[in-house]
Amino acid sequence: METQDKRPQRPPTQYETLLITEPSFEKEQIDQFLEKYSTTIQKHGGKIVKTTEWGKRKLAYEIDKHNEGYYILVEFEGIGDLVKKCETYLNLQPSIIRHMTIKKPANSKSQPPPS
């Protein structure tokens, strides 16, 4: 006899990841990376909500001998250990200078990139 889980399902958690890539990244390379990152998120049960490219910007301080970086904001949703899997994927990418993933507060709206 099958037993069904009667607990209500939680809605997926909203996350956003800010990525800084090497400034030498070309548009084609960025598109390829974003496609692979999107596939990684979907493979682990997540869904991309929005991707915003902020473009090349000066870094506040030098990171790995870089003074500039290409900023990308990826908003996604998912459950379980999705963030852990995404962080592992990003840590293995040599072209990613820095990244940070946060859980979005409830009812938050996307902010435009700082000038």
The phi, psi pair for 62, rounded to 5°, reads -70, 135
Q: What is the CATH number of the domain that holds 45?
A: 3.30.70.60
Quick one: tokens of 80? 């379980």
Is residue 30 in some structural domain? yes
Number of domains composing the chain? 1
User: What tens digit of pLDDT does each residue of 51-100 get?
Assistant: 999 999 999 999 989 999 999 999 999 988 899 999 999 999 999 999 99
In a domain, 52, yes or no: yes
**Would you say residue 8 lies in a domain?**
no
**CA of 65: how far to CAs of 22, 68, 72, 96, in Å?**
10, 9, 20, 13
pLDDT at 3 > cutoff 60 = no
Q: What token pair was written down for 102?
A: 């946060």
The whole-angstrom separation of Cα 110 and Cα 73 is 10
DSSP character string of 13-58: EEEEEEEEE-TT--HHHHHHHHHHHHHHHHHTT-EEEEEEEEEEEE
3-state SS class at 102 = strand
Are 10 and 92 a contacting pair, CB within 8 Å? Answer: no
Q: Which range marks the domain in which residue 82 is found?
A: 13-103
Mean pLDDT over the full length of the chain: 88
Query: Is residue 2 a part of any domain in this protein?
Result: no
Q: Specify if 5 maps to a domain.
A: no
Q: Is 31 inside any structural domain?
A: yes
Model confidence band, residue 110 (pLDDT cutoffs 50, 70, 90):
low
Residue 9: band (very low, low, confident or very high) from pLDDT cuts 50, 70, 90:
confident
Confidence of residue 105 (pLDDT cuts 50, 70, 90): confident
111 lies in some domain:
no
Residue 108 placed within a domain: no
